[in-house]
Structure 1
Amino acid sequence: MTFPDSNLSTLALAIKAWGRELGFAEIGIADVDLSHAEPGLQAWLAAGHHGDMDYMAAHGMKRARPPELVPGTIRIITARMNYLPQDAGDEWRDREEARNADPHNAAISVYARGRDYHKVLRARLQQLADRIRGEIGDFGFRVFTDSAPVLEVELAQKSGIGWRGKHTLLLNRQAGSMFFLGELYTDLPLPVDEPGGAHCGQCRACIDVCPTQAILGPYRLDARRCISYLTIELKGSIPEELRPLIGNRVYGCDDCQLVCPWNKFAERASLPDFDVRNGLDNATLVELFAWEEDDFNRRLEGSPIRRIGHERWLRNIAVGLGNALRQTPDAAPIVAALQSRANHPSELVREHVAWALAQHAAASAGQAQPDR
């Protein structure tokens, strides 16, 4: 299918307008040349910084070669969708930091408190493709929402949506980083957008604030130390040396985003899908630890959290409870909660509960020692 250049330019403008109608904050268009990203990807994988995420290496360099992933692809339509809840308020970062500082609270990443973004973005991108097809007829495309080997930050940067921050997330001058990314691989020869410049300057706030020092330097992340990896991607035992550094973060970590100056411009979601469910912005560790598997599955239906399963949910919260025991004089409710899971059928849960209870014993021993 061929179009005059003027028609393609008109179509590109229409696609951007249709995207906004569907709830996307911004649409960009990029070509498929990601050769500049291949050396960095290869070095990251060779260093083992992807940890147990074998899928990151399973497709070789297809991540950086869109036409190999989807034959016929010549353009990528990239999209960003804001997820900061509509009622977040102007002081949302201060509130989030206060929650992180209270050892009794369960800190859950803002993006995960509402509906699973994979479902929302996939459905909206499919609607965008349907709208295009309704205007021009059949064309080749494939939708991606963090579901296949796609270098989405590189593509978004290339399409002018933003730039890669030093924490490796995409940043936008008008919207910070509180948004999701999705892609539409297509065979339409649309005009491409110009990449924007980077605007981090000398700032290194995200590097300095990382609780586990997972950000090794500008644009260098060791996922094996990242709290989001440890609480979501890692299937086994959380390394003991990292457990005290996790604090009360039980699903993901927003620290590098909370401290980023650009997030004073973070935009609110246009869709209600990302409104908070189940009080996850105001829940305690003890409260969530009491959820049985049926409660977990029922309450978190349609939530991205459900993907880790009840076993890892308890693992993560046990670590948070153990950390709380070192910081609170009122240990009885936390100890009781942990002891209720001490004989859990899962060895993974039992191990982390035992570690948590040992933190109480260690804290009590330290308090009992006389002054020297």
Structure 2
Amino acid sequence: MNDRAARVLGVRDGFGGLDPAEGLASGLRTWVDGGIECRGEVVCWAPAPADADDAPGRLFDLVAWEQFHNDVHLGSFVPVDDAYAGGPLIGVDAQRILLRQGIALAREVGRLAGELSTPIPLRCIIATTETNGKFRFYRIRPDDDWSWLFENLDHGRGFVVVIDFLPRSHDRFQSAHIAAPQRAALFDLVELLAPDVEKARGRLKDVLENASWSAFDPEDALIEALFDSVDSGLAYFDRVIAGPDEIRSHLEQLSTCPEGLTWDWYDGDTKSGKTETALRNYLRLLADQSRVVGTALIGVFAGERGLALGFLSSDKLERFIELAAAAEAEIIIYGAVEPDVD
């Protein structure tokens, strides 16, 4: 989601409060009750329109066809306060309601996609502005390039949430209920890393309880559990565009950042280009400085571009490695053996 949506929804305090307290609006429930179906190359609300077999027809491609047919104007089904002064005007509080209802609708549509005879990967987009709120979904296809969507999330004035639902892999998390040893290891990892253990455990519990058919990674669970608007255990970056100055600024805000850590060792050499190689070299240097003050620099990859960084006392490192293996979480300890991700 873009930063504006993250702030208005309060996700820095965890993802457990995203669902609307009043539940899914009855008007949106009607869409869910009707279901979705795959027809030919496309997925759409059921019953599928007559032109589904000929998709994309006059539209640009299959995704364009799906977005056109699967578009729902949230304000038409969710009662919110608005004003008219030459046109509709929806305030921030009303947009927050529409966003939460859209997220609740996305959960249901994702569930429906997982219950198809052949589950499919699906992307839901919820967007609101001062004039409207919209929900739409489409099938995720391997050859589609939607990088511009994520690169431009923060360029507009609206609130945007993008949710991907992926069919569960067969080699991890065979059901929505995670095995007890893996679950215990995740909680123990959170206790090692979180400044506020009680809050982080609560967020992790919410994440695990809301795990459904969709692909679920322990790395994502840790990131969601450890983020906190006041006292976060990890700092999140886009590893494609993050530079040393941004990394330093965010890491210094962590309460776990060691007091004795210095930054004057950095001479600017890695500013030659914002590449993953330059980033990795910088983080190795930072890890060296961290070890001097008895701290390890750790990282967790999130998707194709995300990277969360944090600090851990060196005397807890051996236990941390054992727990990461038990949790099946791929965590980097910088300065040790690191994956080649170029």
Shared topology, TM-score over 0.5? no
Bigger fraction of residues in strand: 2
TM-score by length of 2: 0.30
Greater RCO between the two (CA within 8 Å, min separation 6)?
Answer: 1
TM-score by length of 1: 0.28
Bigger fraction of residues in helix: 1
